Structure 1
Amino acid sequence: MQDVLILGGTQYFGKKLVERLLADGKSVTIATRGLTADSFGDRVTRLKIDREDEKSIFTAFKGGQWDVVYDQTCYSPLEIKATTEALKGKVKKYIFTSSQAVYEYGTNHKEEDFEPATFNFSIKGRREYPGYAGYQEAKRASEAVLFNEMPFDVVAVRFPIVVGKDDFTERVKFHVEKVINKEAIGAKDFDVRFSFISSDEAADFLYKMGESDFTGVINPGSRGDISLRELIQKIESHVGKKAILTTEVSSENASPFGLDGSWSVNTDKAEKLGYQFTDLDELLNELIQFYFVK
């Protein structure tokens, strides 16, 4: 892997991935709408695309050639279909940032629990996939496009919840501040469980997928899972205050993790391939302490 195309790359762990690639001397092209400033300077080549505008995609990729493409910004099968068609014959490997949301609600999901090649779907745009159910269907259908057409080697990385000190969504910070300020946290079910991965390790895992000969679907992340209640109990022990929990959910108190069911993944495949991730307790304890001290 030497010439790399990233669809996105200006936010969160996508930004870390770009820096990782540049540090190793890779030639990096980022394709974005051009709306988010970046700090890469003249170290990257920039292309302007709009994932909802098929013409812009074909125009931007005309004449290009890359070893690997990382797709960080796809939110519909319509987008990924246009992109794969525009990149046929121009790229060797396609690495798709997918999600544990492709699985049904539940815990310890293994990769075979969702088979994209047999998933029935309709080609729709991102605005036709509202809410969590829409997000789930969009990621499933996008994987299905990739694994049914496969004009190149394909990897779908089914990330659990990505957290870190640079998490612009501030989901863990939300809970820490609510406990510190003695404000209510709302959720219908505090016993739903989730898996996590650090933003640093998410970027590093993507990088390693590009360097490896692995193809197919894979779950990365810290081993095991934790419930929303257990996460809040961790915060309580760090800040020395008791949380106020309520099942009366409002726009002010709604937990970002207050979903209708559990989503967690089994990471045995990644571990058997030699990938290692931070212990889940260590990851969350460090992050909670960061927000508490801050």
Structure 2
Amino acid sequence: MISALILGGTQFVGKRLVQLLLDEGVEVTIATRGRTPDSFGDQVSRLKISREDGESLRVAFQNKQWDVVFDQTCYSSQEALDTIKALEGKIQKYVFTSSQAVYDFGTNHKEENFNALEFQPSLKPRGEYIGYVGYQEAKRAAEAILFQQAKVPVVAVRFPIIVGKDDYTNRLKFHVDHVADGKAMFIENPDLRYSFIDSAEAAKFLVSIAKSDYQGAINPGSSGDSSLRELVTLIEDLMEKRANLQSDGDPSPYNLPGSWSVDTSRANSLGCYFTPLDQLLGQLVRYYADNRH
């Protein structure tokens, strides 16, 4: 891989991805709306696009070539279609950041539990995908467009919940802070189970899968899953404080309608391994606890 286009690249996993590629000597181009500053200076090239304006993609990508595109910011079927049209003949591989949300609610999903080649997408802009159900349909439809219509190999990386010290969503930190402060917290379904992945390992996986010959869907992440009850118990044990769980408390940002977790054995079979889940969550809980003030 000599050159890469990153759609996104200014936040969270995208920032880590850019840095990893630069460290490997890859020529990196970042394509964004231009609203979020980055720290890469003259190490990267920049293009200004709007994912909701297909013409902006066509103009930005005109007369350009890259080995791989990493798509971090696609949230609709229309955006997926506009992007493959704008990049036709300009790339050799398409790495799409998808989500475990493509699966129905449940645990230990294998890749074949959702087949994008059999999904019939409707063309919609991102504004028509509402809530969790909309997010699920958006990622399913984007995968379907890419796998059914792209003329280059496609990888759909179905990430579980991404966590890390640089997680700007603060969803895991929410739970640590509430336990530490004794604030009331509402967990609707404490026994629902979720998979997780560290943000640094997520970025490394994207680079690894792009350099491989793999194509198709794949589930990366720490093996196994955790319930919210187990997560809160871990926080309680490490902080030696009891959680204040109340029906009128602040709702957990992990209050989802069902369990979502994945089987990561296919990624493991490619030689990709991740921090054990208990260790990952324990490290982050300690980090948030130690850096509260």
Q: TM-score range by the shorter chain?
A: over 0.9
Instruction: Assess if the C-alpha contact under 8 Å between 2:93 and 2:153 holds in 1.
Output: yes
CA RMSD in angstroms, aligned pairs only: 0.8
Structure 1 segment 170-185 matched on structure 2, within 5 A = 170-185=170-185
Post-superposition CA distance 1:185-212 (Å, at most 9, x none): 1122111100000000000000101111
1:192 aligns with 2:192: yes
- How big is the shift at 1:246? 2.8
- Residue equivalent to 1:236: 236
- Residue equivalent to 1:24: 24
Q: Structure 2: how far apart are the matches of 1:243 and 1:146?
A: 44
1:265 aligns with 2:259: no
Q: Percent identity of the aligned residues? A: 57
For residue 46 of structure 2, give the secondary structure of its aligned residue in structure 1: strand
* Counterpart pick for 1:286 among 279, 283, 286: 283
Instruction: Assess if the C-alpha contact under 8 Å between 2:185 and 2:248 holds in 1.
Output: no
**TM-score when scaled to structure 1?**
0.98
- Residue equivalent to 1:79: 79
**TM-score when scaled to structure 2?**
0.98
Instruction: Assess if the C-alpha contact under 8 Å between 2:121 and 2:145 holds in 1.
Output: no
For residue 208 of structure 1, give the secondary structure of its aligned residue in structure 2: helix
- Equivalent residues, number: 291
Post-superposition CA distance 1:252-291 (Å, at most 9, x none): x010111110000000000011111001011000000001
For residue 208 of structure 2, give the secondary structure of its aligned residue in structure 1: helix
Amino acid at match of 2:257: D
Instruction: Assess if the C-alpha contact under 8 Å between 2:184 and 2:248 holds in 1.
Output: no
Amino acid at match of 1:256: P
Query: Which aligned runs of 4 or more in structure 1 are off by greater than 3 angstroms?
Result: none
1:6 aligns with 2:6: yes
Post-superposition CA distance 1:161-218 (Å, at most 9, x none): 0000000000110000000111111122111100000000000000101111110000
Unaligned 5+ runs, structure 2: none
Q: Structure 1: how far apart are the matches of 2:196 and 2:212?
A: 23
For residue 19 of structure 1, give the secondary structure of its aligned residue in structure 2: helix
Amino acid at match of 2:258: G
Q: Structure 2: how far apart are the matches of 1:121 and 1:95?
A: 19
- How big is the shift at 1:248? 4.1
Amino acid at match of 1:55: E
